Amino acid sequence: MTKPRRIGVLTGGGDCPGLNAVIRAVTKTALSHEIEVLGIEDGYLGLIEGRARPLDDADVSNILTDGGTILGSSNTADPTHWRTGIDAAGEPLYADVTERCLGHLDDWGAEALVLIGGDGTMSLAQPFVEAGVSCVGVPKTIDNDVWGTDLTFGFLTAAATATDALDRVHTTAASHHRVIAVEVMGRNAGWLALHSGVASGSDVILLPEIPFSWQSICDAIERRRARGKRFTVICVSEGAAPLGGDQVVARRVEDSPDPIRLGGLAQQVALEVEQRLGVVARHVVLGHVQRGGPPIAADRVLATEFGARACQLLVEGRSGRMVARHGFDAVDIDLSEPANKQRKVPLEHPLIRAARQLATSFGD
């Protein structure tokens, strides 16, 4: 592969802080190498529907600090499983529209793609790689669960936002002598709950990787009450589940590549604690608050580094790669490596061991 003359860039999946910083870095780096840039709107949806626009220096100036994405995003568009209508029985009809997407790339003269997203976005890139499109992935997600990288941009900002919310809940829980369960995002990986829970000094942290028991949670609350602590803050990852039980599913979005939408565990925790201990318990769901707002400095730096490196890989004629962070080093790995995988918290993670030494309960 030689240096492309024109590239497309898209932001797939859920939004997170730092997306605009990557778009800026990709565009500015490309322009410095005399490569034209097309911004594909609304992730894979724009690729399916043929919607894109040129990006120049003016388009990406002053967006480094902005949250969200100037290109828009979609977490339901899957070119390999696209809803085309309904049959006579009212059932949805689906088709693989990858060829349509490839046709749009040809029409635009786009010779390469920079795909900014999580594990779903990387998985959906594979048909384009197999079709000969030069692709480079940039890993983003507040869940920090993309396989093959120690860190995704967006995570650190979300952890800071969740920590701030937990800090605020701490004061009202103490004032009213209540148990408050705070639900954070993360899907099947507990990175966000672990980091924000430890950073906020939460008394109980529930992770998807560690099945919990109701009795263990109640025992932790009772131990605190015996020491004169009349309140407890519980940081709940949305994907956690009781021993032998199931995750709480809020709803299903059938047209989405990832149809399961988790949510509701914090409310269940508060109700169980009230019934078992007779104490006042409340719940808070942070939801999309964790996704919003400007990226913190660390995410701006990481996003800029990732974006510049992704474009540089294409300049060097390299394809089928994903930029990643291993320790303190910026590296790149095969784009197929993170496909259909999730990076979860190891049970022997140093932060779990440290939290246990501080008498933090994980409900086990």
User: Of 142, 149, 121, nearest to 67 (Cα)?
Assistant: 142
* Domains in the chain: boundaries: 6-153+295-334, 158-290
Residue scoring higher pLDDT (287 or 257)? 287
**pLDDT for the residue 272:** 96
State yes or no: pLDDT of 40 exceeds 70: yes
**pLDDT for the residue 255:** 67
131-170 tens-digit pLDDT: 999 999 999 999 999 999 999 999 999 999 999 999 999 9
Q: What percent of the chain has pLDDT over 90?
A: 87
State yes or no: pLDDT of 1 exceeds 70: no
**pLDDT for the residue 314:** 96
Q: Confirm whether 150 is a catalytic residue.
A: no
Residue scoring higher pLDDT (196 or 86)? 196
Q: Are 17 and 290 in contact (CB under 8 A)?
A: no
What does the mean pLDDT of the chain come to?
94
State yes or no: pLDDT of 340 exceeds 70: yes
Average pLDDT, integer, range 4-30: 96
Q: Are 308 and 116 in contact (CB under 8 A)?
A: no
3 state SS for the chain: CCCCCEEEEEECCCCCCCHHHHHHHHHHHHHHCCCEEEEECCCHHHHHHCCEEEECHHHHCCCCCCCCCCCCCCCCCCCCCEEEEECCCCCEEEECCHHHHHHHHHHHCCCEEEEEECHHHHHHCHHHHHCCCEEEEEEECCCCCCCCCCCCECHHHHHHHHHHHHHHHHHHHHHHCCEEEEEECCCCCCHHHHHHHHHHCCCEEECCCCCECHHHHHHHHHHHHHCCCCCEEEEEECCCCECCCCCCEEEECCCCCCCEEECCHHHHHHHHHHHHHCCCEEEEECHHHHHCCCCCHHHHHHHHHHHHHHHHHHHCCCCCEEEEEECCEEEEEECCCCCCCCCCCCCCCHHHHHHHHCCCECCC
Q: What CATH architecture is 6-153+295-334?
A: 3-Layer(aba) Sandwich (3.40)
Average pLDDT, integer, range 278-307: 96
pLDDT tier at 257 (50, 70, 90 boundaries)?
A: low
**pLDDT for the residue 90:** 85
Instruction: Give the active site residue among 143, 145, 203, 332.
Output: 143
> Is there a shared CATH topology between the 6-153+295-334 domain and the 158-290 domain?
yes
Query: Within 13 A of 174's CA, how many CA atoms are on the CB side?
Result: 10
Task: Name the token pair of 325.
Answer: 């962070």
**pLDDT for the residue 165:** 97
Query: Within 13 A of 324's CA, how many CA atoms are on the CB side?
Result: 21
State yes or no: pLDDT of 87 exceeds 90: no
Give the C-alpha separation, 113 to 35, whole Å: 12
45-81 tens-digit pLDDT: 999 999 999 999 999 999 999 999 999 998 889 999 9
Fold (topology level) of 158-290: Rossmann fold (3.40.50)
* pTM summary value: 0.93
